[in-house]
Amino acid sequence: MRGPHNIWRLIRTGATLERAGAMNVVLDAFDASPPLRFVARALGLPFKWLGYKGDPNMPPATRALTALGPAYIKFGQVLSTRPDVVGDDLAVQLRVLQDKLPPFETALARRAVEQELGEPVNAIFSEFSEPVAAASIAQVHHARLAETGEEVAVKVLRPGIEKAFRKDIDAFYLAARMAEIFSPGSRRLRPMDVIEHFDGVVRGELDLRLESSAASEFAANTKDDPGFQLPEIKWNYSGRRVMTLGWADGLPLGDNAALDAAGHDRVALSERVLQLFLQHALRDGYFHADMHQGNLKVAANGDIIAYDFGIMGHIDSYTRRVYAEILYGFIRRDYMRVAKVHFEAGYVPADKDVDEFARALRAVGEPIFGMDATRISMARLLTYLFEVTERFGMETRTELILLQRTMVVVEGVARSLNPHINIWEVASPIVTDYITKSLGPRAIVSDLRDTAMVMARFGPRLPGLVEQALNRQAEEQPERRPRFWRYIAATAVMSGIAGATTIALIGALL
């Protein structure tokens, strides 16, 4: 599918970018080399008349992507999470990309529900509205369950969307390969990895069972978080192309006038939305990666309600500790510690100078901490930090870029509610608490317990592993077999003693 026949799709894409005046914007954002610029213009300029016109009232890039259709709109949204790839200016443009398309017919949605759930719509829902929201991949209907009378939202995939996305993504892979060939400098940005990341995001959104699963996992992690709600997934009424969940009833988080009229405390809401995000990212390593005002509401009791779980972020436990230590080091203005954390984690090549790196980090942190407290921006700090690490050879890490992008969005939401919020003051208790729990004595005990459980799990396999190793050794170096036997025996004994000691120690401490 990723062969030369996709060139026609690239020609149509180039023609549309040219017609919308977006070609130079895109090439400049990617810092394209002269050969790549030549190829791109050759694919687009002669065929400009074939390009889609788009909405002339939109900025060039958003105009072109909107005209090209759902896959390009979604690609633009995902690229907005990668300022390291497209630059800050284009990322801002893409972040406001309108993910709104004309809805498809309600009759088609009802038919999709019946095919997916195996029952007539009227037997499942006593009410089923016209579309209340239509996006690039799916649209949403307001409905009421016939069995319980509960209000629900029913999300239905667009007809034929899977096939349409598959065709366009194949063309994206070809474009990424061409970028790597004609612009060697772009390889640092790993274009193929960017497309693979996008492909994974889209595959997740094209199977609504995966989004339902993400929402369910997120709900399990956050069920005890005060002041936070998630709509409940209705698994009996959900499938691959249909997702049903509780109706999120509340005021939009971005409507300050309505929030004030309802008597909600916007200062408390601003602090809560920021602390909730940090808790989810650090404590759980699983966070809502699209926390803009359009996906957040405020319930009548003041709780924040989050919905739309198509883009979720995941960070492993080790990366969470690294991230927390970096933030904590900046809070304490301990730049040498921040530098060492980057080297210890392998983010910066070992052949670089740690002292020089620490001085570069000081140049990042000190101007920010010299600002008035209400102007201190964690998002700006992370942006500057990635600029410095790029200069020192740090490779792109998708999970950290997604975290940074979400931090930018969440900070923007918090400041829109309370322009005078002190971001660091609000974040400090969450980060400090995580550092205490993840790097203190309790964390050591937890790590020992996990290690002991892994050793216990591999215990029954030890004889077989030893036998395999011995057979390989005997075949490769027969003369060393007796010595190797003694080594294996000693290692097994010591491993057993170490495992027993670890388990006993954990038992005593717990």
Q: Are residue 447 and residue 364 in the same domain, yes or no? A: no
| Residue 194 within a domain | yes
Radius of gyration of the chain (CA): 27
Contact, 217 vs 286, CB < 8 A? yes
Predicted confidence band at 502 (pLDDT cuts at 50, 70, 90)? very low
- CA gap 85, 188 in Å, rounded: 10
402 located within any domain: yes
Predicted local distance difference test score (pLDDT) of residue 437: 78
Statement to judge: residues 296 and 423 lie in one domain: yes
Count the helix, strand and coil residues of the chain and give each as a percent rounded to the nearest 5: 65, 10, 25
The phi-psi region of residue 71 (left if phi > 0; otherwise alpha if psi is between -120 and 50; otherwise beta) is alpha
Q: Which candidate, 28, 168, 183, places its Cα nearest to that of 93?
A: 28
Co-location of 378 and 291 in the same domain: yes
Q: Are residues 8 and 93 in the same domain?
A: yes
Q: How far is CA 319 from CA 76, 281, 325, 466, in A?
A: 27, 10, 10, 33
Most confident of 16-25, 142-151, 160-169, 253-262: 142-151
How many other CB atoms are there within 10 angstroms of residue 240's CB atom? 14
Domain shared by 281 and 331, yes or no: yes
- Quick: pLDDT tens for 111-148: 999 999 999 999 999 999 999 988 778 999 999 999 99
- What DSSP element (H or E) covers 298? strand 296-298
Residue 254 lies in a domain: yes
Q: Which of 416, 439, 462 is the last residue in one of the domains?
A: 439
How many Å apart are CA 404 and CA 383, to the nearest integer?
7
Are both 300 and 415 inside the same structural domain? yes
Residues in the chain: 510
Residues 330 and 479 in one domain: no
Tell me if 407 is assigned to some domain: yes
Q: Are residues 189 and 255 in the same domain?
A: no
Residues 412 and 353 in one domain: yes
**Would residue 126 count as lying in a domain?**
no
Tokens representing 198? 């996008």
Tens-place pLDDT, residues 346-405: 878 888 889 998 898 888 777 766 665 566 666 566 666 666 766 777 665 666 667 776
Q: Which two tokens stand for residue 74?
A: 């979604």
In 3D space, the residue among 112, 62, 104 whose CA is nearest the CA of residue 240 turns out to be: 112
Same domain, 407 and 455: no
* pLDDT(426) > 70: yes
The pLDDT score that the predictor gives to residue 226 is 93
pLDDT for 194-251, tens place per residue?
Answer: 777 777 777 778 899 999 999 999 999 999 999 999 999 999 999 999 999 999 889 9
Query: Residue 471: what residue type?
Result: N
Coil vs helix vs strand at 389: helix
Task: Tell me, yes or no, whether 58 lies in a domain.
Answer: yes
Query: Which residue, 274, 268, 269, is CA-closest to 254?
Result: 269
Confidence (pLDDT) at 227? 94
Mean pLDDT, the chain, integer:
78
Is residue 351 part of the annotated active site? The answer reads no
φ, ψ for residue 246, nearest 5 deg: -55, 150
Quick check: 94 pLDDT over 90? Answer: no
pLDDT score of 246: 95
Q: Considering the domain boundaries, does residue 353 fall inside one? A: yes
Last residue in a domain, options 399, 423, 439: 439
Nearest 5 degrees, angle CA 168-CA 171-CA 174?
A: 155
pLDDT given at position 455: 61
Tokens of 67: 């005209």
Same domain assignment for residues 286 and 189? no
The residue ranking higher by pLDDT, 403 or 280, is: 280
Say if CB 191 and CB 176 are below 8 A apart. yes
CA distance 66 to 5: 23
How many of the other CB atoms lie within 10 Å of CB of 498? 13
Q: Which of 173, 223, 217, 224 is nearest to 199 (CA)?
A: 173
Full domain range(s) for residue 35? 4-100+162-204
**Domain match, 461 and 430 both:** no
Residues 6 or more apart from 190 whose CB is under 8 A from it? 396
Domain for residue 145, yes or no? no
Query: In this structure, are residues 366 and 335 in contact, taking their beta carbons and an 8 Å threshold?
Result: no
Structure-model confidence comparison of residues 146 and 162, the more confident one: 146
For the CA atoms of 117, 123, 129, 135, the dihedral, rounded to the nearest 10 degrees, stands at: 0
Question: In 392-461, which residue ranges form alpha helices assigned H by DSSP?
Answer: 398-417, 423-439, 441-458
The domain boundary, picked from 204, 233, 265, lies at 204
At residue 308, what are phi and psi to the nearest 5 degrees? 65, 95
Number of domains in the chain: 3
Measuring CA to CA, how many Å separate 295 from each of 71, 232, 257, 288? 21, 15, 18, 10
For residue 214, report the phi and psi dihedrals to the nearest 5 degrees. -60, -45
pLDDT tens digits along 44-71 = 777 777 778 888 888 888 888 888 877 7
- pTM of the predicted model as reported, rounded to 2 decimal places: 0.70
Strands 251-252 and 296-298: antiparallel
Q: Where are the beta strands (DSSP E) in 335-379?
A: none
Q: Average of pLDDT values for 32-39?
A: 74
Backbone angles phi, psi at 56, to 5 degrees: -65, -10
| Active-site residue (options: 84, 168, 170, 290) | 290
Phi, psi of 316 (to 5 degrees): -70, 165
